[in-house]
Structure 1
Amino acid sequence: MKLTRLEVHHYRNVVPGTSLVFSPSYNLVLGENGTGRTTLLELISTVLGSDFSSILHEPFALEYDLAFPGMKLHVFVRNERDAPEPDAEAPPRKGAELMPLRTPAVPESGLHPRIEVDVRFQSPAARLQMRADAAGIDCKVDGEAVWSRSMHWSLLDRSVWTLLFMTAQFIDAGMKDRLKELLRRTFLLAPQRFDEALGMFERIGDIRYAMEVRDGEVFPLGLMALPTWMPGWLRERMEQPSAPDVLELAHDAREGSFLAKFVALAGFASGRFRVEVLEKRSFENGGRVGFGGFGFHFTRRDGRELTHAELGFGQKRLLSLLYYLDVNEDFAIADELANGLHPRWVEASMRELGARQVFLTSQNPLLFEHTLFPSAEVLRASLLLCGNVREGERERIAWRNPTHEAAGKLFDAHGLGAHPLAELLRQQGLW
């Protein structure tokens, strides 16, 4: 899945009507301090997860497009003080609550949430439209109403993927099957911003994860900030006859894992990942197992052992970045990725980004040495320029792509190879 466009009708101090296009690979967020670079990364993280629970108490109106193999999604989400116009073509919603849902924590806020999702399928062509507000939800397939329910709920407490999952249970089987892959890859998607310091490193130690057995099926509990292979490894270990209270994984036990890559790049002789079993009930029907206390031990080539707490700043950044990439297969959102990393590690980190759609900020020119652009149009979509503009007595944040003319000049100059990209960006006033 790729984010292709974002339009900001209303969001904090951002200029209304801001419209951005994105590259499917590298997206470089450029600007001076205080121009909203981190704010943009946080908003992109919110949009990619399509989870607006963190901003449900503030007004906003956003519109964005996502491309997924075989389908395209257009999402419009608003949380404004003025009530949206009712859909004159929508049929009356049926009564009865779908499920007991929590009412808004601050109903007197005066904000009116609404989410509209338009999913267009290819081969064969079909269209699914979903609309949800604080009073209920309804759905159309190819323009025909197929399902609706009235509900009183806290709409923005749930992601767009949750709403699609709910409606998928009640629309026709063919449409539900076509949504399965999208929902499988996005339902637990929560691509957090990889921050410029050690926030991600500290979060790894705070991770809690649990599995529960219901009717012979194993279900994960909570968002999975885990590498995609890890739930299967945990389950395999817990299904052994005498599962220990502490599980360990050697760096060379799983080729290509974040731990194996870190040990090689950091020059250690070996490394171990350990996780504590915090809760253990019979792993049978109704059983539950909980995990936490994630930690690491490493052995240097001189034989000295050290824990993750004894790593240097750059080593902690590298370890947590590789872990982050092992969790997020489709995206990477990184603030000052090169901060604290040796040039060789910066190069390796850029290589590890692979085919992901990435959004990066950097005050370090090293990052730009490892970016290539096949055309002026791709380069234009890859640069997100952040600045401030004056509107009367008020200063607003302005985000934009460069003009087609500026992107063309930069692409031609970069193609000559006489100057590094960072220098060319500075010469043209773009960084």
Structure 2
Amino acid sequence: MKLTRLVVHHYRHVTPGTELVFSPTLNLVLGENGTGRTTLLELISTVVGSDFSGLIHEAFALEYDLAFPGMKLHVYVRNEQTSANAPEEPPRRGAELLPLRTPAVEGLGLHPRIEVDLRLTSPSTHMVMRADNAGLDCKVDGEQVWSRAMSWSLLDRSVWTLLFMTAQYIDRDMKERLKDLLRRTFLLAPQRFDEALGMFERMGHIRYAMEARDGEVFPLGLMALPTWMPGWLREQVEREAPPDVLELRHDALERSFLARFVALAGFTAGTFRVEVQEKRSFENGGRVGFGGFGFHFTRPDGRGLSHAELGFGQKRLLSFLYYLDVNEDFAITDELANGLHPRWVEACMRELGTRQVFLTSQNPLPLEHTLFSSAEELRASLLLCREGAWANPTREAAGRLFDAYRLGARPLAVLLREQGLW
């Protein structure tokens, strides 16, 4: 999945009409302190997850495009005041959908609305959906297929939940085609990896459960788990007499975050511990709950230490590698180099792989590990933040920068500063 475009019609102090295009790989968010870099990263995280519940009491209007293998998605979402004399909205895809009543959020006068244009290939299908606080309206290949009046708080549901719910009513095959979309977006939507220890602290509070009913197993709480972990947990609890504490050694899974951390941090061994916090049986199944994630490491001198005894940089490295194991498609990272040795920064940049990355940094180290093959690629990879304004550089500025960059005489960070882009 890739975020290809974002248009800000209305959002906080950002200039209306701001339009950004993105590189499918590395995107560098550049700007001085206080220019909105973190705000942009947080908005990108919201858009990628398409969960606007955190903005339910805030006026905004956004438009964005996502590309998947065999699937393209265009979303327009707004939560604004409207009136009979409101000016006509800018043209957008999906505007031909049937109008629905848009009641105001009680006490705020805000009218939420979501419009989705979904195009699938193999076989080709065009689905358009419009939802507001009164209900849903859906067309498939130009034909009205489903409409239902409802009374709900629209923005409490993600775009993915609305799509998946609608698909259940209109076509079983459509539901199956959207299952992976739901898993890779809403369930595994990446949060911003912050400049401090937010992710490290969240790891200690993660809860997960699996429930069996009538022979089927249902995962509960997939968010923030490495993609391999649900299968591993299931294997452990399906053993005869599973223990109350599950342990995974660093060498049990070669490419796990734990194996990579032990190698980079110079430890001789590491163990990941998960507590089984709930075991419950009922007539047609049962439930097992997990939590209390913890770690223990062994130094070359034989001394052991827990995750709480790690240094600041070690904690950030461990939690970043964990974060990458959770998020296969995206990384939204604030000040990656903070507290990390240059060798670790280089390793982290390498670990990003083919993910679409949104990175802000005041440290030039991450920029030392970036490669660009054209001026257009460079332009799409730079997101410039100035007070109230976000933009890609102009094509002329990107061309000048690329001409200087390909000479290879000076680092990219120096060239960006010389040209006033950082």
The interval holding the TM-score normalised by the smaller chain is: over 0.9
**CA deviations over 1:280-301 (Å, ceiling 9, x no partner):** 1138834111111101000001
> Partner residue of 2:92?
none
- Are residues 269 and 88 of structure 1, via their aligned partners in 2, closer, same or farther at CA, if it must alter by over 3 Å? closer
> Partner residue of 2:8?
8
> Partner residue of 2:72?
72
**CA deviations over 1:175-205 (Å, ceiling 9, x no partner):** 4444343234224132100000011100100
1:206 matched to 2:197? The reply is: no
Partners of 2:100 and 2:47 lie apart in 1 by 30
- Are residues 219 and 63 of structure 1, via their aligned partners in 2, closer, same or farther at CA, if it must alter by over 3 Å? same
Secondary structure in structure 2 of the residue aligned to 1:358: strand
> Partner residue of 1:427?
418
Partners of 2:174 and 2:220 lie apart in 1 by 27
Residue type of the alignment partner of 2:259: A
User: Where do 1:76-91 residues align within 5 Å?
Assistant: 76-82=76-82, 90=98
> Partner residue of 1:401?
392
- Are residues 223 and 54 of structure 1, via their aligned partners in 2, closer, same or farther at CA, if it must alter by over 3 Å? farther
Partners of 1:52 and 1:118 lie apart in 2 by 18
- Do the aligned residues in 2 keep the contact of 1:239 with 1:283 (CA within 8 Å)? no
Detail structure 1 runs of 4+ shifted over 2 Å in the superposition: 83-93, 121-126, 172-187, 282-286
Q: Comparing 221-230 with 42-51, which one deviates more in the overlay? A: 221-230
Secondary structure in structure 2 of the residue aligned to 1:282: strand
Secondary structure in structure 1 of the residue aligned to 2:372: coil
Secondary structure in structure 1 of the residue aligned to 2:136: strand
- Do the aligned residues in 1 keep the contact of 2:27 with 2:383 (CA within 8 Å)? yes
Secondary structure in structure 1 of the residue aligned to 2:170: coil
CA shift at 1:70, angstroms? Answer: 1.1
- Are residues 153 and 29 of structure 1, via their aligned partners in 2, closer, same or farther at CA, if it must alter by over 3 Å? same
Residue type of the alignment partner of 1:312: G
Partners of 1:398 and 1:261 lie apart in 2 by 39
User: Where do 1:24-423 residues align within 5 Å?
Assistant: 24-82=24-82, 90=98, 107-282=106-281, 285-388=284-387, 397-423=388-414
> Partner residue of 1:96?
none
CA shift at 1:374, angstroms? Answer: 1.4
Partners of 1:224 and 1:176 lie apart in 2 by 21
Secondary structure in structure 1 of the residue aligned to 2:219: strand
Partners of 1:147 and 1:305 lie apart in 2 by 60
Q: Comparing 47-56 with 205-214, which one deviates more in the overlay? A: 205-214
Partners of 2:275 and 2:298 lie apart in 1 by 21
- Are residues 127 and 107 of structure 1, via their aligned partners in 2, closer, same or farther at CA, if it must alter by over 3 Å? same
Q: Comparing 175-184 with 47-56, which one deviates more in the overlay? A: 175-184
Partners of 2:381 and 2:323 lie apart in 1 by 22
Partners of 2:128 and 2:164 lie apart in 1 by 13
- Do the aligned residues in 1 keep the contact of 2:50 with 2:186 (CA within 8 Å)? no
Give the TM-score of the pair, scaled to structure 2: 0.94
Residue type of the alignment partner of 1:263: V
Secondary structure in structure 2 of the residue aligned to 1:153: coil
User: Unpaired runs of 5+ in structure 1?
Assistant: 94-102, 389-396
Partners of 1:320 and 1:37 lie apart in 2 by 22
Partners of 2:280 and 2:179 lie apart in 1 by 31
Partners of 1:251 and 1:173 lie apart in 2 by 41
Partners of 2:188 and 2:131 lie apart in 1 by 20
**CA deviations over 1:327-381 (Å, ceiling 9, x no partner):** 0000000000011110100000000000000000001111100001111111101
Q: Comparing 252-261 with 167-176, which one deviates more in the overlay? A: 167-176
- Are residues 174 and 213 of structure 1, via their aligned partners in 2, closer, same or farther at CA, if it must alter by over 3 Å? closer
Partners of 1:310 and 1:35 lie apart in 2 by 35
- Do the aligned residues in 2 keep the contact of 1:216 with 1:284 (CA within 8 Å)? no
Partners of 1:341 and 1:114 lie apart in 2 by 43
- Are residues 380 and 284 of structure 1, via their aligned partners in 2, closer, same or farther at CA, if it must alter by over 3 Å? farther
User: Unpaired runs of 5+ in structure 2?
Assistant: 90-94
**CA deviations over 1:66-102 (Å, ceiling 9, x no partner):** 0111121100000001169998863889xxxxxxxxx
> Partner residue of 1:392?
none
- Do the aligned residues in 2 keep the contact of 1:213 with 1:283 (CA within 8 Å)? no
Partners of 2:238 and 2:176 lie apart in 1 by 31
Partners of 2:108 and 2:401 lie apart in 1 by 47
Secondary structure in structure 2 of the residue aligned to 1:416: coil
Partners of 1:284 and 1:331 lie apart in 2 by 41
